[in-house]
Amino acid sequence: MALIRSSSENIVETILNTRMISPEQVIEIRRDVWPDGTINRAEAEMIFEINDVLEHRCGEWDDLFAEAIVAHLIENADPRGYISESDAAWFEERIKRDDAICGTTELETLIQLLEKAIDAPERLEILALETVRNAVLEGDYELLGNARLRQGVLGDPEVALLRRVIYAKAAGRSEAISRAEADLLFDLNDATVCAENCSAWSALFVNAISNYLLVQSGYEPPSRERMKQIDLWLNQPSDGKNGFLKEMANGIGRGSFFSDVSDIFNGITPMEEYYASRVNADAQNREAAEHVNAQEAAWLCARIGRDGALTPNERAVLLFLKAGRYDLDAALDPLMKRIG
């Protein structure tokens, strides 16, 4: 345990023995774990150890758990906000160690991590989607924090969780739905076709599938290696951020500042690199918009009507594509004829 005061070690021991935690104990842990504004791996492990044994928890603990683990993974990342494969593997192994993901803390932490990270391995996003899907199909209301959950039925709270995940996807790449996301949504639609799902599910399904077919985000956040290069320069004591404003003032005066910075970053400044990536992404999006190519059409043909009948949501996707007068590959003609 990486706590600061022995009194806090006694508090943790009491929590582990009683398997319960009070708001007052949470305050003590928060005060002693977070005095320097960072959470190291030992402290993160301790927080998980407490969470694993709790039989009675409080809202204050749920908040602390999510804040601490997200801070640990994002603030300690190199560069900041870029979740590495190794950190993602540690987090996934840790939340599965007790053979159960706790919704009020671990699932919420996973979703917050996806919402706040600049970039994260797709495995974390798929884990979140699979967790929600399995909880719905198994009727695990405790995991999803919804006492009104009916097994196999998608209610508004469950759809809200799914929406947070698929539109989070590590902030910078949230514009487009991926093939893996689309496949998982189709699986969930097939599994709940006879259920009295909420109307929000139909809206999310149609929007997400249409998004996958019609929106191709070409934007990728700068690579971890590129950001580490930028961070290294910014933190140099002489040439980095400490002298940045001085160099800017001097350079602008002689008309050479931007070329100097461009030289440092191999001919392109971080700002230029960012805007170039956005312009390229927008150009690709415009080119792909209103068009479903042969590969996408083949995927849709394979997914729709697998059991020989169109589900209401599948029909809604086809009607959306037809009404929009999009440029559709000829492979979709048989499906379009089925909806009249």
Q: What is the pLDDT of residue 250?
A: 54
pLDDT 10s digits, 257-269:
444 444 444 555 4
One-letter amino acid at 40 equals: N
Note whether 328 and 336 are within 8 A (CB). Answer: yes
Phi-psi region of 328 (alpha: psi -120 to 50; beta: other; left: phi over 0): beta
> Which whole number is the average pLDDT over 282-299?
73
Query: For residues 304 and 198, what is the distance between their CA atoms, to the nearest angstrom?
Result: 21
Query: For residues 143 and 120, what is the distance between their CA atoms, to the nearest angstrom?
Result: 23
Lowest-pLDDT range, 149-158, 176-185, 219-228?
A: 219-228
Tell me: pLDDT of 334 over 90.
yes
pLDDT 10s digits, 49-88:
999 999 988 999 999 999 999 999 998 877 788 899 999 9
Q: What is the pLDDT of residue 258?
A: 45
Q: What is the pLDDT of residue 149?
A: 95
Q: Are strands 327-328 and 291-292 parallel, antiparallel or unpaired?
A: parallel
Query: For residues 5 and 18, what is the distance between their CA atoms, to the nearest angstrom?
Result: 20
Contacts of 203 (CB under 8 A, 6+ apart): none
Higher pLDDT, 218 or 313: 313
pTM (global) more than 0.85: no
